Amino acid sequence: MPQTLTGGCRCGATRYTLALDAMPPIYCCHCLDCQSWSGSAFSEQALIREDAITVTGPVVDYRITNASGAESHQWLCGVCHARIYNTNSARPGIAVVRAGTLDASDTVTPRTHIWVKRKQPWVTIADDVPTFAENAPPAEFIAIMMRARA
């Protein structure tokens, strides 16, 4: 039986549960889009199966078409507009949860950092965490994200 992980937005109006066996794998993205979206130096993101998330409360679906032509759905709290997760037509069945919205966000450890060529100079990344100047090659990214936790 999967454990239930919970999270939500800043104001508390939107909550979610994740039906997963363990904390999902986390990665950090330092690209300019993630810096703009998060209002910070990078975003922490958790990869999950889309069917593992159940959201309650007011949610807004903000849709954008990426340069690639893929449609991205950004799911936001309908009150405070905190971004909870996104889906993308280029990755059917996968959701990307903003790891900072997890109730246990203080327990996550990123497995990799991408777009570090845009990293703020004051951010330090541990030497044993893989980094990529831009996007990681898909097979390598998947291998890093799906490896068993030590």
- In the DSSP assignment, the letter for residue 137 is P
Instruction: Give me the half-sphere count of Cα atoms (radius 13 Å) on the Cβ side of residue 116.
Output: 16
d(CA 101, CA 37): 14
Closest CA to 83 of 95, 93, 65, 91: 95
Answer whether residue 149 shows pLDDT above 70: no
| Position 150 pLDDT exceeds 80 | no
pLDDT above 70 coverage of the chain, percent = 96
User: Does position 1 have pLDDT exceeding 80, yes or no?
Assistant: no
76-87 tens-digit pLDDT: 999 999 999 999
The three-class DSSP label of residue 110 is: strand
Which of 73, 64, 148, 58 lies closest to 111, judged by CA?
148
Q: Is the pLDDT of residue 147 over 60?
A: yes
pLDDT tens readout for residues 103-140: 999 988 999 999 999 999 999 999 999 999 999 999 99
pLDDT of residue 148: 63
